[in-house]
Amino acid sequence: MAVDKRTEMIIQEIVRRINRTDDRLRILEQRIKVMDSSLSSLEASSIKQTNELKDKSLAIEAKIKIMSEKLDKIENLVEKLNENLKNYAKRSDIKEIEEMFSLLNPIKNEFVTRKELLEILREEKT
């Protein structure tokens, strides 16, 4: 009986240790499941953000392309305007023409005929 009691105590100790090990194993399995779930969630979030960034990048590239095309059109228009401006008179040219007209304007200036000039010169001599 002493051997049976001792054997029984050994068996109980073994069962207790096995139960404790089983509990530890169950806790570790739960932690692994939680970590696996967190990792899956993190991967899904990362994939979603990557896709969103790709979409935004494509949208930005499209906008840049459109802006580049518009800028090219504007540059072409500016070149055409500059070419057209060469055909127009400058302010200094217009001033010069105005001065020429004012010199030749009979209303502002008095012109004399040849006869009148000769007559004035004769009068001054005498």
Q: Is the pTM of this model over 0.95?
A: no
Express each pLDDT in 78-110 by its tens digit.
999 999 988 888 889 889 988 888 777 766 667
Number of domains in the chain: 2
Q: Do residue 83 and residue 114 come from a single domain?
A: no
For residue 16, the number of C-alpha atoms closer than 13 Å in the C-beta half-sphere is 6
Task: Give me the domain span that covers residue 102.
Answer: 89-126
Q: Do residue 12 and residue 71 come from a single domain?
A: yes
Express each pLDDT in 26-52 by its tens digit.
999 999 999 999 999 999 999 999 999
- Measuring CA to CA, how many Å separate 62 from each of 21, 57, 58, 67? 61, 9, 6, 9
Q: Do residue 34 and residue 53 come from a single domain?
A: yes
Q: Do residue 22 and residue 70 come from a single domain?
A: yes
Q: Do residue 112 and residue 67 come from a single domain?
A: no
